[in-house]
Amino acid sequence: MTNKKGRVFSGARPTGRQHLGNYLGAIRNYVALQEDYDCVYCIVDLHALTTMEDFGKLRENTSEMALDWLAAGIRPEESIVFVQSHVPQVTELHTILSMFTPLGKLTDLPTFKEKARMQPHNINYGLVGYPVLMAADITLYKADVVPVGIDQESHLEFTREVVRSFNFRVGKQVLVEPQMKTTTYPKVLGTDGAQKMSKSLNNHIELALTDEETVARVMTMVTDPQRTHRNIPGRPEVCNVFTLHHSFTSEAEVEQIAADCRSAKLGCVDDKKCLAANINRHLAAFRQKRTELAKNPEYVWDVLSDGARRANTIADQTMDEVRKAIGLP
Ligand code: TYM
């Protein structure tokens, strides 16, 4: 460890190309935290198996996501970027932590109930144990800080409880209790303006779209439902297009947009055109870098394999301590 403030760990399921929700809720934070922390960023392919129907897409989804992370500014020379299954010690820790986990706690979690509702035909054991595997991710790397969106709050609280329970039972502070860190934008809504932006809801806007594709996607965004006619004044505070402006548009312009929307001087179509143009400008350097990196497909896999090697060293140390603490012969 260097003289930084501590270690950050975060993970995301390999969902392929990332969207604005991932970017504003997580990736932007991952990049900023590199200044002050030793960072470990993991593509959680094992977690993805709990909901994935087409396993054949895992490899491509992994490299597409890693490309987005690297193009957005995660620096693999400093930070560890790796694939969860490449460091299999996490599955051993998952098994051990499961002995410290009351079953009822898992089935009571809102995230479990939501997933069970979404895939009633496939409520598998892995889905129930999902938060335990996540706790194993975080504790294997002794993370002090975990940057995530608000949807992961119950999993972070669960992790903290498991750590306390484990440390209490073994009588010493072996595992580290992590702090959750949300961005200023912990829940990005989708184009429907109602639900969390998510690929599975098809309400997402991908970072790696072309300028034209971005405009087309932004044009589908739902605005203030009361503004049924161009001449009716809008309410920026209930409009997701306006919310997104805060991340891509200058403060002065945001104020002007709010005033012009309220007075009906600015219509929703022009407002969306403006947002799309600002998103395109904001992401121009990212898109250029992504195109460059994608020219050498080996590069991403080299980064991930170097990351796994470095992650493995930390994982081995933790597992030595854990095995000793619980008396495994
Ligand atoms: P996942 O793959 O669903 O999402 C990755 C990260 O993106 C954030 N996020 C959002 N934030 C704001 N608004 C949105 N619309 C939005 N969509 C996604 C998520 O909060 C998350 O931070 N269980 C985790 C993955 C995981 C993990 C870990 C995270 C596994 N092990 C250990 C942290 C630490 C998940 O499914 O994230």
Specify the CATH number for the domain of residue 98.
Answer: 3.40.50.620
- Paired with 39 in beta bridges are 8
- Domain at 265, CATH number: 1.10.240.10
- Give the closest residue (by CA) to ligand 1 atom 27: 11
| One domain for residues 183 and 41 | yes
Distance (Å) from CA 98 to ligand 1 centroid: 21
In a domain, 112, yes or no: yes
If asked whether residues 216 and 159 sit together in one domain, one would say no
Q: For residue 204, tell me if it sits in a domain.
A: no
Which one-letter amino acid corresponds to residue 280?
N
**Side by side, which strands form the sheet with 145-147?**
80-83, 38-43, 7-12, 145-147, 179-181
* pLDDT digit string (tens) for the chain, length 329 residues: 567 889 999 999 999 999 999 999 999 999 999 999 999 999 999 999 988 777 889 999 999 999 999 999 999 999 999 999 999 999 999 999 999 999 999 999 999 999 889 889 888 899 999 999 999 999 999 999 999 988 899 999 999 999 999 999 999 999 999 999 988 788 899 999 999 999 989 999 999 999 999 999 999 999 999 888 888 999 999 999 999 999 999 999 999 999 999 999 999 999 999 999 999 999 999 999 999 999 999 999 999 999 999 999 999 999 999 999 999 99
Answer whether 17's CB lies under 8 Å from 60's CB.
Answer: no
Q: Which residue has the tokens 């200023």?
A: 184
pLDDT (0 to 100) of residue 119: 87
Please tell me the predicted confidence (pLDDT) of residue 184.
76
Number of domains in the chain: 2
Regarding whether 149 and 90 lie in a shared domain, the answer is yes
Shared-domain flag, residues 271 and 305: no
Looking at the domain assignment, is residue 198 inside a domain? no
Report the pLDDT value the prediction gives residue 1, as an integer from 0 to 100: 52
Domain check: are 173 and 79 in the same one? Answer: yes
Q: Check: pTM over 0.75? Answer yes or no.
A: yes
Do 93 and 128 fall into the same domain?
Answer: yes
- What is the dihedral angle through the alpha carbons of 289, 290, 295, 300, rounded to the nearest 10 degrees? 110
Residue 276 belongs to some domain of the structure = yes
* Straight-line distance from the first to the last Cα atom of the chain, in angstroms, rounded to the nearest whole number: 29
161 and 74 in a common domain: yes
Same structural domain, 182 and 254: no
State the distance from the centre of ligand 1 to the C-alpha of 235, rounded, in angstroms: 30
Distance 73 CA to ligand 1 centre (A): 18
Atom 4, ligand 1: residue with shortest CA distance: 12
Distance between Cα 148 and ligand 1 center (Å): 6
Give dist(CA 19, CA 24) in Å, integer: 9
Residue nearest to atom 29 of ligand 1 (CA): 11
Residue 253 lies in a domain: yes
For residues 38 and 138, state if they share a domain.
yes
Domain match, 140 and 38 both = yes
Kindly state whether residues 228 and 268 are assigned to the same domain: yes
CA neighbor of 221 nearest in space, from 17, 14, 20, 13: 20
In a shared domain, residues 280 and 158: no
* Residue 27 lies inside a defined structural domain of this protein: yes
Q: Which domain holds residue 306?
A: 7-187+297-326
312 inside domain: yes
The answer to whether residue 95 sits within a structural domain is: yes
Q: Which residues line ligand 1 (CB under 6 A)?
A: 9-13, 21-22, 25-26, 44, 47, 134, 137-138, 146, 148-149, 151-152, 155, 186-188, 196-198
